[in-house]
Amino acid sequence: MTREYVGGLHSVKAALKSSASQIEVLLVQKGRRDTRLKDLRTLAQKHAITVREVNRSELNDLFADAQHQGVLALLRNSSSGVRQDLADYIAQLKLDEPARSLLVLVLDEVQDPHNLGACLRSADAAGVDAVVIPADNAVGLTPVARKVASGAAESVALFQVTNLQRALTELQDAGLWVFGATGEAPGSLYDLDLKGSVVIVMGAEGKGLRRLTRERCDGLFRLPMQGQVSSLNVSVATGISLFEVVRQRS
C-alpha cells in the first residue's frame, strides 16, 4: 500500500470531506489553537481519525515542497483521486442528465504541478465534469498540485489515461466536440459555439499541443492577444477558455 501527505488548510478540509476513509492520521502543528485548525480537528474526530500534534520542523520535513499551513493528512494510496474509467463515467453522466451539456478539460503533457493545481481550481470553479491528463510525460496529482488546487483535487473528477488520442476519440464518440488551443489557429476562442457538450484541450508549457493531439481535435482556437506578449501561462489560458464556455451557457 502506498501513502502520501496532503497539506494546506483547504486541501486537508476537502480530503476530510471527500476521502475521510483513506486518511490514517491528521498531523497538526503543536501549539496552534486557531479556529481553522480547530475546525479540522473536529472534522477529523467526527470521522474517528487520530489527531497528533507534532513540531513544525517535523511537518516541514514531511512536506518540503509546499506550504503545509500547520496541518498534514496522511492518505493511503498515492493514486487517490485519479480515475481511469473515463468512457464509463461520461456515459453515466449522459444517462443521468441527458439534457445537460457536458464540459471536459484535457491537459496535454502539462509538466508543472503548480499549473496542474491551478487548472484544477479553475475547472472546479467553472463546473467542469472531468479533467483528463496523460499517464506519461505529464505531472500527476502531487502534493504540490493538491495544495495549489485548494481542495479542487478532491472535488473534480480527474482521469489519467495511457493514450490521450484514444481518450479524445472516446469523448467524440460520446457526442462531445473537441476544441484545442493553439496560437497558430486561424479562429478565435470567441468565434466558437460552446453551448453544447465540449472538450477544451490545452497544451503543455512552451511546446503547446502535440501534433497528434491537434489532428484529433474537431477544431482549433487561439486567444486573441492584444499586447506584446505572445502567449499566456497554461493555467491562465485554461481559466479564460473555461469561463468563455460558462459565459456562453449563461
Confidence of residue 144 (pLDDT cuts 50, 70, 90): confident
- Is 0.85 topped by the overall pTM? no
CATH topology assigned to domain 3-76: 60s Ribosomal Protein L30; Chain: A; (3.30.1330)
What residue ranges of the chain are covered by domains with CATH 3.30.1330.30? 3-76
More confident residue, 229 or 171: 171
Comma-separated ranges of CATH 3.40.1280.10 domains in the chain? 82-249
Burial degree of 110 (CB within 10 A; 0-12, 13-18, 19+): buried
CATH superfamily of 82-249: SPOUT methyltransferase, trefoil knot domain (3.40.1280.10)
pLDDT tens string 58-116:
988 888 766 888 998 888 754 445 677 899 999 999 999 999 999 999 999 999 999 99
DSSP the chain: --EEEEESHHHHHHHHHH-GGGEEEEEEETT---HHHHHHHHHHHHTT-EEEEE-HHHHHHHSTTS--TTEEEEEE-TTTTEE--HHHHHHHHHHH-TTSPPEEEEESS---HHHHHHHHHHHHHHT-SEEEEESSSS--S-HHHHHHHTTHHHHS-EEEES-HHHHHHHHHHTT-EEEEE-TT-SSBGGGS--SSSEEEEE-BTTTBS-HHHHHH-SEEEB----SS-----HHHHHHHHHHHHHHHH-
Task: Find the mean pLDDT for residues 152-175.
Answer: 93
- Residue % of the chain over a pLDDT of 70: 95
- The model's pLDDT over 32-72, given as tens digits with 9 standing for 90+, comes to 888 988 899 899 888 899 999 999 999 888 887 668 889 98
